[in-house]
Amino acid sequence: MKKLIFLLFLLNVLFLQAVNSEKQAMIPETLWEFGRVGNMQVSPDGSTLLFTVTYYDAEENTSSRDIYTLPVEGGEPKNITNSEYNEFNAMWRPDGRKIGYLSPKSDYMQIWEVEPDGSNPRQVTRVAGDITGFEYSPSLEHLFFTKRIKIEEDPHDLHPDLPESNVLIYDDLMYRHWDQWHDYKYSQIFITPYQDGSIGRYFNIMENQPWNSPLPPFGSIEQISWSPDGKKLAYTCKKKTGKDWTLSTNSDIYLFDVENVETTNLTTFNKGYDRNPVFSPDGNYIAWESMETPGFESDKNRIMIMDLSDKSYKNYSEGFDRSSSNFRWSEDGEKLFFISGINATYQMFSLDIDGEEITQITDGHHNYNSLELAGDFLVGERMSMSSPVEIYRVNKDDGSQEQVTFINEPVFEEIQMGEVEKRWIKTTDDKEMLVWVIYPPGFDPEKEYPALLYCGGGPQSAVSQFFSYRWNFQIMAAHDYIVIAPNRRGLPTFGREWNDQISQDYGGQNMQDLMSAAKKLKTEPFIDENRLGAVGASYGGYSVFWLAGNHNGLFNAFISHCGMFNFESWYGSTEEMFFANHDIGGPYWEDPTPHSYEFSPHNFVENWNTPIMIIHGAKDYRVPKSEGLQAFNAAQLQGVPSRLMFFPEENHWVLQPQNSILWQREFFNWLDKWLK
């Protein structure tokens, strides 16, 4: 049976080779030709899509984001902004007569409105400072907006006679986060009366307290939600500061009464994350995403629903062994649509509220990133390893899917993609592990190829059907590498036990899973077992460092991006301590020292003997730059062939077009040197 399946696969490959014979393989610049679709919305009458497309100019090292509309059934997109600025947070006004959005056309980022046909753009707000998000109330009597305001005293307040001084002073933790030092400012929610393009006097519902909503660093406007009558606002907040903030994931859902100016905490019973509230159409219920385990940022996201009349609540995913997100109520309030991961893909699901039955709607080798209701259909942003995001329309009843946008069709007319194969591989503890195998365009089964083991990050981030603009499997395959991408232990979409196993076992079963995938695939006749590399970022970068000291000659080259090298120095310099405490087990000065410190790669560095490239960004505060520098120094001092690529202006990621293109070139220069 396996031979028959492989024969059919080869026949399909040969057919596609003939079809694509005149197309070109991807190069680093190709990734910056794609338009990046996002911010999808549906008009109030369900007929029209609203979305943004971001285009990059690699030569100028700039980007431009515009707003588009398109009928839900498809057609030609209409660009309604067509400006030189980056517009975002686009949304339909609840009456459908205007489109609101944020634009930096004036001195600050402000709310603008435009007619649905793109005419008559008009500035709505003129507040000091940048607005970071907003949403109209359904009644159109109010709108809220968020902006960062200075709450704490800074050094210039303490020393006003030294205006040219440049210093930061702190008395508590969270002095830096992700890629920014704390600047004494916090994201606050403001509510203002609104009437047909005009706002009134606005006020801060968070009363200038040192809390943030949305939550940093990646919280979006989805963490704040209006009730259907516009009289209440639910928002996500972790009302902690400093050391307490960095040790806890205990965020809550707060309900603000606009008329009575009162705030109620709805989720005092839960000590983990509570986020992203969504009201039912009648306003009687509220659904939100909830994690039960304190301090565990990758715990199962449960479907929680509360009856607001008596504050009773229920976990509707009690028997559903996966996380859920992107909640959307049906118009009659009888169903809740959502996205969940299954076997390294992300699909649309529905929950029947009364029957408490969960049904999978979509299927296939793809990820849905979002979903919205559009009359009898669902629409969502969909991507795969072979395609960046496009918008699809989904039949609620049979799950059939139809592509609606074709933003990147001109790019695909010129390039050839490699085949993506799904395999199940036996692990050392006799379990089945899903591994994606990505083949070069024009794959020749009679040829021997070098191969790359992709070590996933997170550590709890599924190696799913994502389309990355840096860790892109298709561009790796286009350079004539076969890519081995395993969903090792510790990754979601395979149930809670598989997801949770990795915590405090960083050098354990998940590393055996990675090597199992490499050892199994290298036996294929089309893979040269003497030309095998391992690459990865973040936890994947840590994985590469660990493998470098423990692989026993399995690999011939390594690349580690922003990986943890020394657990003691990493624990002492990272910022979100709840993550370190949960996954490592606590500080290194505890007696006894948590056993996880035994898995620190620096403990095995004397075994390093394989060429390694080390990449790091100066503004990475999650895994600070000293981790990469220590690893490079250790390799150099031991005479291990090594190269350091350091980005002074990048964080945990590489985001600027030219930096990213350079990253790709050096990435493949290093691999080609040692594997080809």
**Residues taking part in catalysis:** 538, 620, 652
* Listed residue (626, 668, 625) closest to 647, CA to CA: 625
- Give the CA dihedral 94, 98, 99, 102, nearest 10 degrees: -100
Cα distances (angstroms) measured from residue 102 to each of 71, 133, 191, 371, 409 = 23, 8, 16, 22, 28
Burial 571-597 (b: 16+ CB within 10 A, else e): bebbbbbbbbbbbbbbebeeeeebebb
Chain centroid, CA 185 distance in Å = 25
Report residue 6 as tokens. 């492989």
With the C-alpha atoms ordered 182, 183, 186, 187, is the resulting torsion angle positive or negative? negative
Asked whether 17 and 24 are in contact (CB, 8 A), the reply is no
Question: Of how many residues is the chain composed?
Answer: 676
CA dist., res. 360 & res. 338, Å (int): 10
Q: Is 162 exposed, middle or buried (0-12, 13-18, 19+ CB in 10 A)?
A: exposed
Q: Annotate 475-521 with DSSP letters as a single string.
A: HHHHTT-EEEEE--TT-SSS-HHHHHTTTT-TTSHHHHHHHHHHHHH
Percent helix, strand, coil in the chain, to 5, is 20, 35, 45
Q: Can you tell me the distance from the alpha carbon of 312 to that of 319, in angstroms, rounded to the nearest whole number?
A: 20
Could you give the CA distance from residue 324 to residue 534 in angstroms, rounded to a whole number? 31
The DSSP string of 350-381 is EEETTTTEEEE---SS-EE---EEETTEEEEE
Asked if residues 208 and 149 have their Cβ atoms less than 8 Å apart, the reply is yes
Tokens of 470: 């840096």
Token digits of residue 207: 């009363």
Task: Say how far residue 350 (Cα) sits from the centre of its chain.
Answer: 22
Backbone angles phi, psi at 226, to 5 degrees: -80, 145
Q: What is the 3-state secondary structure (H, E, C) of 377-414?
A: EEEEEEEECCEEEEEEEEECCCCCEEECCCCCHHHHCC
